[in-house]
Amino acid sequence: MSKTWLITGTSSGLGRELTEQLLQRGDTVLATVRNVDALNDLAAQYAERLHVLALDLTDTRAIRHTVASAFAQAVRIDVVVSNAAYGLLGAGEALSDAQIERQIATNLTGSIQLIRAVLPHLRQQGGGRIVQISSEGGQIAYPAFSLYHATKWGIEGFIEAVAQEVAAFGIDFVIAEPGPTATRFGNNLDQAEPIAAYAGTPADVVANMISARQFPIKGDAQRTVAAIIAATDAAKPALRLPLGSSAYDNITRELAKRLAALQALRDVAYSADADASA
């Protein structure tokens, strides 16, 4: 049975690939972009099943209006994909206030407000599924990506709580966590002005690797999207979906380190309890 999807950030990268694969298999897509001309080629080919909507995720009022229009147009939307995001590269100290505000407004606040906007519609129609495109960076962290990680860790925490709040309404979530994947992500990075004192530090090393295109990338965009679609089609998918060997290996390693560090502090943690006899 064909489905109807609402997807943000469809002009390039995983959002574009997801839109293409869904249209090819016969689904209907309501695709949001900042520039509606970005999907002209697909609109010409799939005029009856692709509906392009203009949206800037930093505009909360526009999010609510666009979501309401999408549900009015489609009547029922089976899957909402929160995908629109970008990377911000540079040591945390080097980032400008404007860069920080824009990163949070797009990746975190925009994703939160999109989810908040769709929930009443999904409740009214009796359920639905929300897919959040996160990253391995929602559970691990690289130097030079501090604000990007802040937004990804933040949206994953938000969803952890909201998923529990709305499960009774037949609404569930999938958090997709791709590792480094061959998309245009690197081309769309915002970059901080380097600070000389950081030369040769981990943040500088990573930034230089990204700029020189030397950062290892194992993920394939088509296969990543195919895995997301397959998970979304499943009756009861896992909440978190690691994608790519890099994501699986990196997340596994970091979770093991965190668990070991936590367990080493058990006695310290328990010592902070009130005396049971008091």
End-to-end CA distance of the chain: 62
In a domain, 276, yes or no: no
Q: How confident is the model at residue 274 (pLDDT cuts 50, 70, 90)?
A: very high
Residue 53 sits in a domain whose CATH number is 3.40.50.720
In a domain, 277, yes or no: no
Marked catalytic residue, from 3, 146, 152, 246 = 152
Residues of 41-75 as b/e, b for ≥16 C-beta within 10 angstroms? ebeeebeebbbbbebebbebebbbebbeebbeebe
Per-residue model confidence (pLDDT) at position 215? 78
pTM for this model (two decimals): 0.94
Structure tokens at 132: 């959040």
> Quick count: other Cβ atoms within 10 Å of Cβ 3?
18
- 218 assigned to active site: no
Report which of 120, 133, 121 is spatially closest to residue 179, judged by C-alpha positions. Answer: 133
User: Which amino acid, residue 157?
Assistant: G
Q: What is the span of the domain harbouring residue 204?
A: 4-270
Marked catalytic residue, from 82, 134, 135, 246 = 134
In a domain, 278, yes or no: no
- 111 assigned to active site: no
In a domain, 226, yes or no: yes
* Rounded distance between C-alpha atoms, residue 258 and residue 125, angstroms: 41
Q: How confident is the model at residue 229 (pLDDT cuts 50, 70, 90)?
A: very high
Which of the residue ranges 16-20, 48-52, 144-148, 187-191 would you say has the lowest mean pLDDT? Answer: 187-191
Tell me: pLDDT of 123 over 70: yes
In a domain, 25, yes or no: yes
Contacts of 173 (CB under 8 A, 6+ apart): 129, 130, 131, 132, 159, 162, 163, 239
Structure tokens at 146: 């501090």
Per-residue model confidence (pLDDT) at position 186? 65
Tell me: pLDDT of 179 over 90: no
| Contact indicator for 54, 33 with CB cutoff of 8 Å | yes
Domains: count for the chain: 1
Q: How confident is the model at residue 278 (pLDDT cuts 50, 70, 90)?
A: low
- The helix/strand count (H/E) of the chain reads as 10, 9
Tell me: pLDDT of 62 over 70: yes
- 257 assigned to active site: no
Marked catalytic residue, from 3, 46, 142, 148 = 148
Per-residue model confidence (pLDDT) at position 183? 75
In a domain, 89, yes or no: yes
